[in-house]
Structure 1
Amino acid sequence: MTNKQKRPAFRDLYFGKSDSKNELSGDRDDFVRSFIDLNRITDQVIAGEKTLVLGPKGTGKSALAWFLDASQHGQNYLCTVRDASDLPLADIPRLQTGQPAGTERTVAAWKFILLCNYLALLLTDQSCEIPNRVEVDRVTKLLRKYGFMGDTSGRAILDISNTTIEIPIPKIGTIYRRESSSTLNIYSLLPYLEDWAANARSANRHMLMLDGLDSIFLNDAKYDESLASLVQAAYTINQKLASVGATGSVVLLLRNDVFNRVSLVLPDSQKMRDDYAVELDWRVLSGAVGAQAPLIRLVNGKAARALSVAAIDVLSYFPASIELGGSQGSEPRFIERLQYFLNLTRHTPRDLLRLFEEIRKVEESGVFPSATPTLRRDVIREGVLQYATKYFTGAIRNEFAGYEQGPQEAQLALAALQNLKRQNFDRNLFAAGLAELGESRPEVVDRLLRLLFYAGAVGNTVSVRGGSYLQFYHRRDDSAVYLKGSFVLHNALCHAWTIPFTY
């Protein structure tokens, strides 16, 4: 933006919506125009170089998928995004493929589901040439009839999960000549589906993207077998497709903490991560360099592109330091603006964008007089309060979605935190708070503390020689919770619950 251009008002900036799918349906052009591609990941995904997109919740995995879906028209690729939350993940190990129960059967079930959906994508490409097309069309017609191709595949799996399904063989083509039986089970059909996918030829690339895996809570063990088998199935399919120069790939969008958990039972997990994974890591470095970190460039780029201006520095709309305290005769203290905002988030694009959006809405409301060149302190404070109460507490609750022990325990954990009325606490204080709510089992206390730590609601105070430091999971995803240490409630929850700050 040149000096001659008038800087847009903060109320006119664009920070998107909380859910990229909602943002896309609301205004496709704004969504596409304001999408920020971290390190040109889209090119790597389209080319099939990266087939595992990893990152914490809120880092833009779904935004990447829906951007590719929205941008495919007129491009040299075709993309289909499937929502895994519509699939009965816990029931997939029971899908009768014609094999004995176990890991191999679950992998085969996932390969069948993925290949059915990948073939459905290929068939939408008018220029795609598939060998034995007549045979392919007849078999896929039967698969559609059973409900295995398209959005209804989840219901189909539930309907037949306890029955070994048999696919009638068309009396024409390779299958008819090779097989002695008039029907095939899922396991016997897999080599033919894989062969058709591998040998299809087109000028276009094809991507089947599986999203929605964030809805599976990171400590819910009942999904482990299914998720591990899904990762293995996709890896095997992609190896096959790459080895013959096929036109596409299967892309999984997965939380890195979930991948770390299931990788313990995957023999090739390190190879998968080294060769095919890309991580969406927006964490900000400390000090002045933070203002040029990818997360801040994303916020600036999104705001600028939506208004079709060359550049916007969102932080410049705020005072260099944010004043804290100063009420009831206490001395105010000041904190550098970027550090202040980051301390209210989990260092993810979604959190920071929602924070700026709530401040923007307060400024737009006109309740407070406008101020230039920076926003008023009361506008910032009210926006932070709105963010903490309307967004952040709900986002923490959503981290417990699908929690195996039930939502009532998750509610207990948050209620106990809120009732403590203090930012610093230890396990004993938390246990006492739970006991007041009727829960005193030690294993539940430990489990809920772990869940709160991995959700980003609390951090550890780690003592080291000469002092201590704060450890939040979202700042270092290899961190392990220390249950016997001191805990710190996240700043945004202190704002939401009117809890005094102690750091």
Structure 2
Amino acid sequence: MANFSDINFKYTDAEEERLYAPQLLEEAYVDINGILNAITSPEKFLVVGPKGAGKTALASKLLLMDKHRWDLFVDGDILEQFEYHLLNKTGGEKGTTIGGSLTAWQLILFLRIIPLFLKDEHFKDKNPGIIKLSESLKKYGLSESDSLISIIQYTSRRGIFGKVKSAISEVTGEKVEEENYKVKDPAALLSSIKSIFEKATPSESSYYLVIDGLDYILREGRDNTKYIADLINAVRQLNIFFASLGLSAKAIILIRNEVLKVVPDPNLTKRINDNGVQLKWFDNVRSPFDSSLLEVIRSRAALAGYQASMRELWYNWFPREINGTGSFEFVIVNTRYLPRDLISFFREVQKLGKQPPFNRVDVLSALNNYSDWFLQELGDALVGVIDENIRVELPDIISELGRNFKIDDLKEKLEEHGLLSKGITAEQIARDLFNSSWLGNRWDTNKGTPRYSWKHRKINANLNLKHELVVHSGLWKSLNLI
């Protein structure tokens, strides 16, 4: 007999799931909008979604698929500790043949992907020249690296470029003069490596490098986001190069909407439209129990022995209505319509130590505890997005303002706390809070009907400063607003 406590809601981090509960990814992964197929398209390499939308789950799923398919080779890089300033040392000055961090990114990405090709015995059999290149790189100090972090540390060192050039010359037969050993010209090195790959014979396999952890660049300030803009363009150019050779190889970038918002690239909207895949979990409002979001819960329940539909499960577990509202709507408005949020709510239900059916008080108790987690989750989403002094005091500020307020109220409260300074405005802070779902908009129609706008409900929604600002209901309990 199925037991509610046996459903695995323990982890909200996909990396932990891959390590400690791989069956969740192998047997209960929800392939939202066929993303596993969509991401194989040559032009698609940006996976976009808010914190908790399942970007890392996609990476973990691909890494597990690598273990079960002979024709798929996947590796991942988490750039949490990446030293972006070293790109300047690797790339040198812009305006020369060097090309700045854009070319530096392409070079280190190429060096990182080469070992992926050589994991494939079929590719190795067809391409002895690539094997020779790899062996020469090892000979001159660039060992088969498993991270972009170690590659950038290596290529930023003095004199290394001469060694890489020497390695390439062993394959191409080009003569390298001693005086050129210490010349830094990544564009020339990149061109030489590409010339070797242009002679490669494709195999039937696919090779994916998944790049995650770009959120952490914001911890050092928005000025560093230029490196992300260059990374996006470098990946696009590299992927186009591989596609032109008939190689099913690419780098895939996992990135949050909030991070993209601050990336200084005039072509970013085009990149998202042409090269992006959006993670949208709840697009079936008329039939919510058939949405991808609820499939996350149903598939986990199925692993624990529950065979009913999600609608049947929900109403077997929870009352039809709570406080005059349908129980599903009552719960879901406290989330951002994301898997991590809903899983966290169910984890709090399990902590009650009871078996279903759960009553109204049980649901309220779980939501109260969930609110504490939700406040921390949304607080983490603001790291690097807004000034740290404001982020730390934000819970107190919102508590003092109440559930609903105007932009002038927010400005007055920020000034009262001494948090507005040159370059920091209440309007920008409000937009950052809107983009991370702390706040939404509320207004009345001509008939007096209230309307709401939330970023997590409509990805293209923008804050209207003329409308009232409203606090996400999932935060109310922790902010003492109920």
State the TM-score, normalizing by the size of structure 2.
0.87
Q: Secondary structure at the match of 1:210?
A: strand
Distance across 2 between alignment mates of 1:256 and 1:403: 11
Deviations 1:245-280 (A, max 9, x none): 11311111122454455474338x52x444432221
Residue 366 of structure 2 is aligned to residue 383 of structure 1: yes
Distance across 2 between alignment mates of 1:124 and 1:441: 54
Distance 1:79 1:360, change over 3 A: same
Deviations 1:406-435 (A, max 9, x none): x22211222211233x21112233234334
Residue in 1 that maps onto 2:189: 189
Distance across 2 between alignment mates of 1:408 and 1:148: 42
- Letter matched to residue 340 of structure 2: R
Residue in 2 that maps onto 1:494: 476
Residue 122 of structure 2 is aligned to residue 121 of structure 1: no
Q: Secondary structure at the match of 2:337?
A: coil
Residue 146 of structure 2 is aligned to residue 150 of structure 1: yes
Q: Secondary structure at the match of 2:238?
A: helix
Distance across 1 between alignment mates of 2:220 and 2:447: 35
Residue 76 of structure 2 is aligned to residue 81 of structure 1: yes
Residue 460 of structure 2 is aligned to residue 460 of structure 1: no
Residue in 2 that maps onto 1:329: none
Residue in 1 that maps onto 2:460: 478
Residue in 1 that maps onto 2:137: 140
Deviations 1:349-384 (A, max 9, x none): 11111112211221xx24xxx55xx31222211111
- Letter matched to residue 409 of structure 2: L
Distance across 1 between alignment mates of 2:216 and 2:326: 35
Distance 1:200 1:464, change over 3 A: farther
Residue 432 of structure 2 is aligned to residue 451 of structure 1: yes
Count of residues paired in the alignment: 468
Residue in 1 that maps onto 2:335: 345
Residue in 2 that maps onto 1:278: 277
Q: Secondary structure at the match of 2:123?
A: coil
Residue in 1 that maps onto 2:103: 108
Distance 1:431 1:261, change over 3 A: closer
Distance 1:217 1:316, change over 3 A: farther
Distance 1:409 1:16, change over 3 A: same
Q: Which runs of 5+ in 2 are unaligned?
A: none
Distance across 1 between alignment mates of 2:420 and 2:255: 34
Distance across 2 between alignment mates of 1:473 and 1:462: 15
Residue in 2 that maps onto 1:224: 225
Distance across 2 between alignment mates of 1:262 and 1:171: 35
Distance across 1 between alignment mates of 2:274 and 2:414: 45
Whether the aligned pair in 1 keeps the contact of 2:136 and 2:168 (CA below 8 Å) is no
Q: Mapping of 1:47-446 within 5 angstroms?
A: 48=42, 50-75=44-69, 76-89=71-84, 91-97=85-91, 99-100=93-94, 104-129=99-124, 130-133=127-130, 135-141=132-138, 145=141, 149-151=145-147, 153-154=148-149, 157=152, 161=156, 165-168=160-163, 169-170=166-167, 173-177=170-174, 183=181, 185=184, 186-197=186-197, 199=200, 201-217=202-218, 221-259=222-260, 261-262=262-263, 264-266=265-267, 270=270, 272-287=271-286, 289-304=287-302, 306-307=303-304, 310-313=307-310, 314-324=313-323, 334-362=324-352, 365-366=353-354, 370=355, 374-389=357-372, 391-403=373-385, 405=387, 407-420=388-401, 422-441=402-421, 443-446=424-427
